[in-house]
Structure 1
């Protein structure tokens, strides 16, 4: 892949392809990440293994929490019962994540500006 000298690198917020519709419709505006480096500002939502386009997003906050201290409220879940499933999914995505991991709760919104 070649790059033009004056183009800025695009920051990517990666998702599994199954989340495209939820992000595109703004139903999904929060994600939890471990051992990744995200900051507020513009980025592209990139959907792995998909033929779909990227979506411009604004990362609005990045808050660090201990995995063991995540709550349904922090994750904007409707019930506490969803918390165990959410953490289980995180462990599937990050199999090397330790029990005492610190994770980032990343909130974002679709951007009106193409980046």
Structure 2
């Protein structure tokens, strides 16, 4: 499988999970490895612990390991099967737990012969959100926008199926060449719906590069922000 996402962080997380999965032997209680990266660039890895009474998946083990290390918010998660099975998708229970505890995490999943980075919210559409859950939120950007955001030249972003929280949050910048993240505090001032057809052709072309699976004229979200 290849990784078309183009993010250096994704490659490192996948490699860590692959490395751990390759060490798993014939013990049928441990057949999947998972790895996750936090916003400081630290990676946490673990394996599943199957049991007929409901032993945890590898992703849930990693969430516990990260919490034990006081990792805070996690940016990326991936699971890899033993025996060379490669990247696998999380089960429904893991998706719900990640959504509740890390609502802005991206999950690496197989898609034909490629690996895609998908928001956990997209992996679990129309999901139940616990009313008493209020985890810290963050908003992702490509690092190529970092200078413009810092200088105040960029104060608007358009998102597709990517809910953004209002108010004080953390802006997270990453790219394909640099490991880790650049983070800063920011404020989301306004979030409102907009149609693709309301945007100029150059902006539409750029968005389709970010979201290749969009329909012809989707409902988008216009986000206004400042640092």
Matched, 1:109 2:223: no
Aligned to 2:198: 69
Which of 81, 88, 111 is the equivalent residue of 2:205? 88
Aligned partner of residue 42 in structure 1, secondary structure: strand
User: Could you list the runs of 5+ residues in structure 2 that have no partner in the other structure?
Assistant: 1-43, 45-65, 74-133
Q: How far does residue 10 in structure 1 lie from its aligned partner after superposition? A: 2.9
Aligned to 1:9: 135
Aligned to 1:97: 214
Within a 5 Å distance, the mapping from 1:21-40 to structure 2 comes to: 21-40=147-166
Provide the rounded CA distance (Å) in 1 between the counterparts of 2:140 and 2:214: 18
The CA RMSD measured in Å over matched residues stands at 2.3
Provide the rounded CA distance (Å) in 1 between the counterparts of 2:198 and 2:146: 28
| Contact 1:24/1:55 (<8 A) preserved | no
More helix, by proportion: 2
Aligned partner of residue 197 in structure 2, secondary structure: helix
Aligned to 1:55: 184
Structure 1's consecutive aligned runs of 4 or more residues displaced over 2 angstroms after TM superposition are 6-10, 49-53
Aligned partner of residue 146 in structure 2, secondary structure: helix
Q: Work out the number of aligned pairs and report it.
A: 98
Provide the rounded CA distance (Å) in 1 between the counterparts of 2:160 and 2:181: 25
**Deviation per CA, 1:14-46, whole angstroms, max 9, x where unpaired?**
111111111111111000000101131111111
User: Could you list the runs of 5+ residues in structure 1 that have no partner in the other structure?
Assistant: 71-82, 111-115
Higher Cα Rg: structure 1 or 2?
A: 2
